[in-house]
């Protein structure tokens, strides 16, 4: 616990220093700010890539061992049903909250935000052109497990691991034992690697934050004040709802859980990557007392299906763009959009800037100019910080809740 506190303090210090250095570069060294941002951001990129390199082996080994140790396929189905029940409920609540807030606060009406150039959104618009049912199926079902491992497609790795684990559990204990023992050892080695890599987190945080502030400066917050305040209010409300539900299920143990995941929360916030803390989350949830087999099964699924912060942002951003363009969105149309987002968001799990791609695709479906995404791109990095942190909290609570329910049903 002491090492966890030291890491947390180091990340806080790195965050503050990153803001200070980024501010100095933005306002004092204007001509070199782009070069500085590009170079200092490498610190964050290196850290995230180091974490990404161990995600695939960790997901595969822990999930296979977890399913094989469950033995009973009824238990696998039961845990899966509980997890999906939480994910679907949380996603609907998050989407609905975003819709209610953007309608109530109307940050896009009477805005002074102008879009002089939509070229910044061209990459997202190109990606969205291939967004279809066919692409959804291709994204979910792996063509090659080696390709899935190489590209860190968590959902595809999860699907392969589930089949592999079920097949392994059908063997006798004597036959399965050597493979289980090997995978178990590998997962522990990978978790040991996590301990070492996490000490690079302060450098990653420093680089990511310094680059963002140097690029945009502080004046961007005044331009997007209405948008940011409304979104921040929504995130706070979502946290209150999640923590309230978490307290009802976990009781006072909730505070212990929050203490455990404070470093992952801060890393996700600073680096805008919930994926970067996946290995650390596995470690901390097991230390919290969750059964390893529940963690290894529920957490990877959560990273594909339970992105609460991102879900809230999708309805919020889509309707915000409609408000800026003065497009009327009746309630029935908004509810249809909500259901579409509920489905389409699952098709791009693990894709970089997935939330924005879904927003662009949804805008095109509902007659909102998709190039309007360029309106929110300048501030998206800062919204992504809050989204990523909320996604981590949602998955920690989901895994802990499923573990509690499963422990009760067994007892």
Predicted pLDDT of residue 28? 86
Q: Which residue has the tokens 């059964």?
A: 291
Domain boundaries, the chain: 2-410
| CA–CA distance, 39 with 10 (Å, rounded to integer) | 22
| CA–CA distance, 352 with 299 (Å, rounded to integer) | 19
Q: Which residue has the tokens 């029940």?
A: 85
CB contact at 8 A, 388 and 268:
yes
CB contact at 8 A, 204 and 49:
no
| CA–CA distance, 153 with 48 (Å, rounded to integer) | 15
Q: Which residue has the tokens 């002089």?
A: 116
Identify the CATH number of the domain defined by range 2-410. 1.10.3860.10
| CA–CA distance, 247 with 341 (Å, rounded to integer) | 28
Q: 257 exposed, middle or buried (CB, 10 Å; 0-12, 13-18, 19+)?
A: buried
Closest by CA to 369, choosing from 339, 325, 333, is: 325
Predicted pLDDT of residue 251? 92
| CA–CA distance, 350 with 305 (Å, rounded to integer) | 10
CB contact at 8 A, 64 and 161:
yes
Closest by CA to 343, choosing from 137, 161, 83, is: 137
Interior angle at CA 394, CA 221 and CA 287, nearest 5: 120
Predicted TM-score (pTM) of this structure: 0.83
First to last CA, the chain: 30
CB contact at 8 A, 265 and 284:
no
Closest by CA to 111, choosing from 315, 321, 318, is: 321
Closest by CA to 46, choosing from 271, 266, 214, 216, is: 271
**411 residues of the chain, pLDDT tens digit each:** 556 678 888 888 998 998 899 999 988 887 888 889 889 988 888 888 888 888 888 888 888 887 777 766 777 788 888 988 999 999 999 999 999 999 998 888 766 665 545 555 555 555 555 555 566 666 677 788 888 888 877 778 888 888 888 888 888 878 888 888 898 888 888 888 888 888 888 998 898 888 888 888 887 777 788 888 999 999 999 999 999 999 999 999 999 999 999 989 998 898 888 878 888 898 899 999 998 888 888 888 888 788 888 889 989 999 998 888 888 888 888 989 888 888 766 655 555 566 777 788 788 788 888 777 877 887 888 888 899 899 999 999 999 999 999 877 655
The dihedrals phi and psi of 266, each to the nearest 5 degrees, come to: -70, -40
């Amino acid at each position: 616990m002491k090492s966890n506190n030291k890491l947390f303090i180091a990340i806080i210090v790195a965050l503050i220093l990153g803001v200070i250095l980024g501010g100095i570069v933005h306002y004092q060294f204007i001509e070199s700010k782009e070069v500085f941002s590009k170079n200092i951001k490498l610190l964050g990129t290196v850290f995230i890539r180091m974490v990404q390199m161990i995600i695939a082996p960790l997901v595969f080994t822990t999930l296979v061992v977890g399913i094989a140790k469950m033995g009973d396929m009824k238990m696998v189905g039961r845990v899966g049903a509980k997890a999906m029940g939480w994910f679907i409920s949380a996603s609907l609540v998050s989407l609905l909250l975003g819709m209610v807030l953007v309608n109530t606060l109307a940050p896009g009406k009477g805005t002074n935000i102008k879009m002089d150039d939509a070229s910044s959104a061209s990459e997202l618009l190109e990606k969205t052109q291939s967004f279809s049912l066919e692409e959804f199926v291709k994204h979910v079902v792996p063509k090659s497990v080696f390709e899935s491992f190489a590209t860190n497609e968590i959902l595809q790795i999860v699907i392969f691991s589930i089949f592999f684990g079920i097949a392994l559990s059908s063997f006798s204990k004597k036959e399965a034992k050597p493979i289980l023992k090997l995978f178990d050892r590998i997962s522990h080695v990978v978790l040991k690697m996590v301990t070492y890599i996490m000490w690079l987190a302060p450098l990653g945080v420093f680089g990511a934050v310094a680059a963002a502030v140097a690029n945009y400066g502080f004046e961007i917050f005044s331009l997007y004040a209405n948008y940011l305040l409304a979104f921040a209010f929504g995130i706070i409300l979502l946290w209150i709802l999640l923590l309230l539900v978490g307290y009802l299920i976990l009781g006072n143990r909730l505070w212990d859980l929050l203490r455990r995941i404070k470093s992952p929360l801060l890393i996700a916030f600073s680096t805008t990557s919930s994926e970067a803390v996946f290995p650390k989350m596995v470690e901390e949830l097991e230390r919290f007392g969750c059964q390893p087999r529940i963690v290894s099964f529920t957490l990877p699924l959560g990273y594909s299906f339970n992105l609460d912060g991102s879900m809230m942002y999708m309805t919020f951003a889509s309707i915000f763009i409609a408000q800026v363009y003065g497009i009327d969105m009746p309630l029935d149309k908004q509810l249809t959009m909500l259901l579409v987002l509920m489905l389409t968001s699952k098709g791009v799990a693990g894709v970089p800037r997935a939330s924005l791609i879904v927003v662009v695709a949804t805008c095109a479906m509902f007659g909102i100019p998709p190039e309007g995404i360029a309106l929110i791109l300048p501030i998206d990095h800062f919204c992504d910080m809050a989204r990523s942190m909320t996604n981590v909290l949602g998955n920690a609570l989901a895994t802990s809740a499923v573990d509690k329910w499963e422990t009760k049903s067994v007892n």
